[in-house]
């Protein structure tokens, strides 16, 4: 077992899904707004190729449910969430 995942878990190859963003645009329709700048910067990783993610989940989701039921007995189909992004900063 790789960490806390089922033995049959096959990770999605992320190398084809990563995109680097080197700038940011802040736009609002309100009179006021705010931007939080991190002193050491931040890294945002977002999977933007949704068709690849959808295909991956469709192919593998059924095999995840037995494992998920070990963690939480009463799990509904709608309770499976796929996280497609993360923002990382230094502490």
For residue 17, being part of any structural domain is answered with: yes
Under a CB-based contact definition with an 8 Å cutoff, are residues 90 and 52 in contact? no
Q: Which of 34-38, 76-80, 82-86 has the highest mean pLDDT?
A: 82-86
Can you give the residue range of the structural domain that contains 61?
Answer: 1-21+40-91
For residue 27, being part of any structural domain is answered with: no
Kindly state the average pLDDT of the residues 3-23.
67
Residue 3: the pLDDT is 62
For residue 12, being part of any structural domain is answered with: yes
For residue 84, being part of any structural domain is answered with: yes
Kindly state the average pLDDT of the residues 32-49.
80
Q: How many domains does the chain have?
A: 1
Residues in CB range of 6: below 8 A, 6 or more apart? 63, 64, 66, 67
Confidence of residue 1 (pLDDT cuts 50, 70, 90): very low
Average predicted confidence (pLDDT) for the chain: 77
Q: Residue 35 phi/psi, 5° resolution?
A: -130, 135
Of 37 and 58, the one with more pLDDT: 58
For residue 6, being part of any structural domain is answered with: yes
For residue 82, being part of any structural domain is answered with: yes
């Amino acid at each position: 077992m790789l960490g806390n995942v089922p033995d049959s878990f096959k990770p999605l190859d992320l190398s084809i899904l990563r995109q680097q963003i080197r700038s940011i645009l802040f736009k609002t329709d309100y009179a006021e707004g705010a931007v939080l700048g991190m002193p050491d910067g931040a890294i945002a990783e977002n999977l933007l190729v949704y068709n690849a993610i959808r295909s991956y989940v469709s192919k593998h989701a059924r095999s995840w449910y037995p494992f998920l039921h070990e963690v939480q007995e009463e799990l509904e189909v709608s309770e499976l969430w796929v996280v497609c992004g993360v923002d990382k900063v230094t502490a």
